Chains A and B, each alone.
Chain A
């Protein structure tokens, strides 16, 4: 629909919208995160929900203690190799549409523990991540920025066509394989359907 016509009609007291806009508007303003913290980033996440930073302004204050009721998983902290299968399992238990924010250096890459024997080098090796936030830990403002980025991303999604969200695409994977504990590492070390080795440009 023509934007100018829409504005003109609005001046006349006629509200015109599309199902897509209404649907995305509803989705983006009620992202309920899962009550789930992994390490020190979780403290910043908790601070974000409190009065000073007030995440409730974004419709995301209801932290759900069950993955069945949650829309968003905030990977807040170091994902150890022992914890990674549980994180993937929790993600599998969430209902579509679901989103993931990888919060902090550890969750996006392993961070300062990257060369350790026990830390996963980024949760994006097993599950699709929508927003990555760097920082150690990221400030609450950074988490709010991530929320706004995610809201913008949802708002711009087309409900039909190639770029439609995963829950409207029958062929999209719904369940992600949970890694097994191996003798030295997780098996497999990454999910090739989600993560491929990025090309380093020097």
Chain B
């Protein structure tokens, strides 16, 4: 199969303005992936499926990843004027101070698709899509119109991560019940406090069981 870089070039030749970015994997597997832009994603997917050389006709796996908001602190050298009084005379001196600046990089939800070719017997090609954030803009185009096998797996990603797939024919919960609120595989999911009976508690369970005991005895 072509390398990820070559596939990216082929996509850009076939779909103008595709906006595909290579996400490199620094690990020993070196399984680089392609990050698709939302507006051209379905066209790119159709190209990957229908192109005679790639013929990625089989979507084997869809999964979700939750990337939390990341707080990044970096040290920056800042030069600012400082007024000193030396021997009764005011002097303005420029001093360089090291400051720690913090900024929050917003988190996002990500869907990862693994593509194979049954006819050419090659693969996988990993493609990804990301939402704008984790709270209100959690939409991305559905791949179900391109690969039918995405239907149930996208429902699962919707159920557990809360990604809303635009163009999905039947986007309902698949594992949890319909009345369920929240998305349990998100990293900030808080499970219900059902730690009333923990005979062999340890670590996190022990602390949650103790907190439950305090809550019960406090009432």
Alpha-carbon gap, A182 to B177, bound state (A): 9
Majority SS at the chain B contact face: loop
Tell me, yes or no, whether B87 is within 8 Å of chain A by CB: no
A200 partner residues in chain B, CB cutoff 8 A: 197-199
| CB pair A184 B192 closer than 8 Å | yes
Contact among A115, A181, A184, A198 for B182, CB-based, below 8 A: A184
A189 partner residues in chain B, CB cutoff 8 A: 192, 194
Alpha-carbon gap, A184 to B194, bound state (A): 11
Tell me, yes or no, whether A15 is within 8 Å of chain B by CB: no
Within 8 A of B (CB), among A171-190: 181-185, 189
Tell me, yes or no, whether A28 is within 8 Å of chain B by CB: no
Interface residue tally of chain B, by bracket?
A: 10 to 19
| CB pair B189 A117 closer than 8 Å | yes
Distance (whole angstroms) from the CB of B27 to the closest CB of chain A: 29
Distance (whole angstroms) from the CB of B153 to the closest CB of chain A: 18
Tell me, yes or no, whether A82 is within 8 Å of chain B by CB: yes
Contact among A82, A181, A182, A183 for B175, CB-based, below 8 A: A82
Contact among A81, A118, A185, A198 for B197, CB-based, below 8 A: A198
Tell me, yes or no, whether A197 is within 8 Å of chain B by CB: yes
Most-contacted residue by chain B among A181, A184, A198 (CB, 10 A): A184
Distance (whole angstroms) from the CB of A106 to the closest CB of chain B: 15
Closest A-chain residue to B204, C-beta based? A115
| CB pair B197 A181 closer than 8 Å | no
Tell me, yes or no, whether B145 is within 8 Å of chain A by CB: no
Tell me, yes or no, whether B170 is within 8 Å of chain A by CB: no
Per-residue contact bits, chain B 19-42, to A (CB 8 Å; 1 contact, 0 not): 000000000000000000000000
| CB pair A82 B194 closer than 8 Å | no
| CB pair A118 B192 closer than 8 Å | no
Per-residue contact bits, chain B 152-176, to A (CB 8 Å; 1 contact, 0 not): 0000000000000000000000011
| CB pair B197 A183 closer than 8 Å | no
| CB pair B184 A182 closer than 8 Å | no
Within 8 A of A (CB), among B162-217: 175-182, 184, 189, 191-192, 194, 196-199, 205
Alpha-carbon gap, A1 to B191, bound state (A): 58
Distance (whole angstroms) from the CB of A189 to the closest CB of chain B: 6
* Given contacts A197-B196, A197-B197, A200-B199, A118 and B184 within 8 Å (CB-CB): yes
Which A residues have a C-beta under 8 Å from some C-beta of B?
Answer: 81-82, 115, 117-118, 121, 181-185, 189, 197-198, 200
A-B contact pairs, 16 of them (CB 8 A): A81-B177, A82-B176, A82-B177, A115-B191, A117-B189, A118-B175, A118-B176, A118-B184, A181-B180, A183-B179, A183-B180, A184-B191, A185-B192, A197-B196, A198-B197, A198-B199
